[in-house]
Amino acid sequence: MAKYGEGDKRWIVEERADGTNVHNWHWAERDCLEWSRARLSSLLAGLTILDGEGGLSLRTVALDKLDGEAYVNIRKGKVIPGYELSLTLSWEAEAASESGAAKVTGTAEVPYLADENADEDPDLRVTVRGDETPLALRAKDAFLSRGKPMVLEKIREFVAAMAKGGPAKDELDSKKTPTKVAGSAPAKEAVLAPAPAVEKKKAKGKDKEGFKTIEMTEKFYCRSKDIYEILMDENRWKGFTQSNARISREVGGEFSLFDGSITGVNEELQEGKLIAQKWRFGSWPDGLYSSVRLVFDEPESGVTIIKLKQTDVPEEDKYGNSTVVENTERGWRELIFQRIRGVFGFGI
């Protein structure tokens, strides 16, 4: 028995150099709000509800708003999800008329989505932005009859994913795979033997083993040159991130973001069109860089679409933590793109 005040070192998670909660023996809570934002956005944005049927086109546009909390609690492989969310989804409709194409927009709101009602479909409220013209009412009715079942089906997919562990699912699945133990000692944690390295040829269009690709498309209400300038200006970076930044505006020049947490080198720069960089977190294995490409498109004046593609993102950092891809994607969305919209007024 351990002496009072000392504890048994086998159960003191803090004693590990990487701070890992071994086998989730203790309760581990994972914040899933940003994962939920990304998952719901991918499920709900860009759904085609009507494709010209009856002269009407109707589709969802984007997840405009997600508020509330979402998390999963895990202990010894047992998942207990918890979430209370409200969300707003934008939609648009278009119909041909004698004077040309007429458009109308609106929102679909789910005021309460919670784990306590996981076996029930949530309430869905559909509204029109602006006057309720004949086209607007027609589009609203079409959304209720055709779009509502589609949206609720996608929400059921989200609920099922949360029940399986949300962003922690891959981690839980890996723990179920039998792993040989190389030796053991009394009162010490068993050490997992590393799997033998197997060299595999990278298939065309697929990630290398142990690496992932992040892709996202973001919309801003500004000129492409304006947001390009923000992303390449260290003083504006300091402003919207509230952290130190150092950015070279030259090809081959280096950059450092978020107080040095992210570093890299500019590979290709085209003002208002392209930023290509070698990019890494300080917690990644030494010498390992991902490739980032930000492509800027301005389909109409005052509207810019940024397509981000980041390849060769490691699944684990040098401490063995397996949330690298999730945290990197969340950082782009929450700490960069959303803050730019909020600070500079480029949002919807």
What amino acid occupies position 134? Answer: P
Residue 111's Cβ-side half-sphere holds a number of Cα atoms within 13 Å equal to: 4
State the average pLDDT for the chain.
81
DSSP-H helix ranges across the chain: 33-44, 134-142, 148-163, 169-176, 224-231, 234-241, 324-330, 338-344
Q: What is the mean pLDDT of residues 221-243?
A: 91
Express each pLDDT in 214-229 by its tens digit.
999 999 999 999 999 9
Of all helices (H) and strands (E), which one includes residue 253? none
pLDDT band at 38 (very low <50, low <70, confident <90, very high): confident
Task: Give backbone dihedrals phi and psi of 298, rounded to 5 degrees, phi first.
Answer: -120, 85
Q: How far apart are CA 291 and CA 278, in angstroms?
A: 5
Q: Which residue has the higher pLDDT, 207 or 95?
A: 95
CA dihedral 314, 319, 324, 327 (to 10 degrees): -160
What amino acid occupies position 170? Answer: D
Strands 125-128 and 100-114: antiparallel
Q: What is the chain's percent helix, strand, coil content, to nearest 5? A: 30, 35, 35
Per the structure block, which two tokens stand in for 138? 């027609």
The CA-based diameter of the chain, rounded to the nearest angstrom, is 87
Q: Looking at residue 73, what is its pLDDT? A: 80
CATH number of 21-171: 3.15.10.20
Q: How far apart are CA 330 and CA 322, in angstroms?
A: 14
Cα dihedral sign, 5-8-14-16: positive
Q: Are 224 and 327 in contact (CB under 8 A)?
A: no
Express each pLDDT in 276-326 by its tens digit.
999 999 889 999 999 999 999 999 888 999 999 999 999 988 888 888 898
What amino acid occupies position 257? Answer: L
Buried b (16+ CB within 10 A) or exposed e, 10-22: eeeeeeeeeeeee
Q: Looking at residue 348, what is its pLDDT? A: 54
Per the structure block, which two tokens stand in for 325? 């891809």
- Give strand pairing partners of 50: 58
Answer whether residue 111 shows pLDDT above 50.
yes
Spatial CA neighbour of 221 closest among 49, 36, 72, 64: 64
Answer whether residue 110 shows pLDDT above 70.
yes
pTM over 0.75: no
Alpha carbon of residue 259 to chain centroid = 22
Q: How far apart are CA 275 and CA 232, in angstroms?
A: 9
Q: Are 329 and 213 in contact (CB under 8 A)?
A: no
Task: With H, G, I as helix, E, B as strand and everything else as coil, classify residue 119.
Answer: coil
Express each pLDDT in 116-137 by its tens digit.
888 889 999 999 998 888 889 9
Contacts of 83 (CB under 8 A, 6+ apart): 32, 36, 68, 69, 70, 71, 113, 114, 115, 162
Buried b (16+ CB within 10 A) or exposed e, 68-88: eebbbebeeeebebebebebb
Looking at the structure, give the CATH architecture of the domain made up of residues 209-342.
2-Layer Sandwich (3.30)
- Per DSSP, 121 falls in state P
* Domain extents in the chain: 21-171, 209-342
Q: Looking at residue 1, what is its pLDDT? A: 39
Spatial CA neighbour of 227 closest among 310, 341, 63, 342: 341
Q: First vs last Cα of the chain: how many Å apart?
A: 61
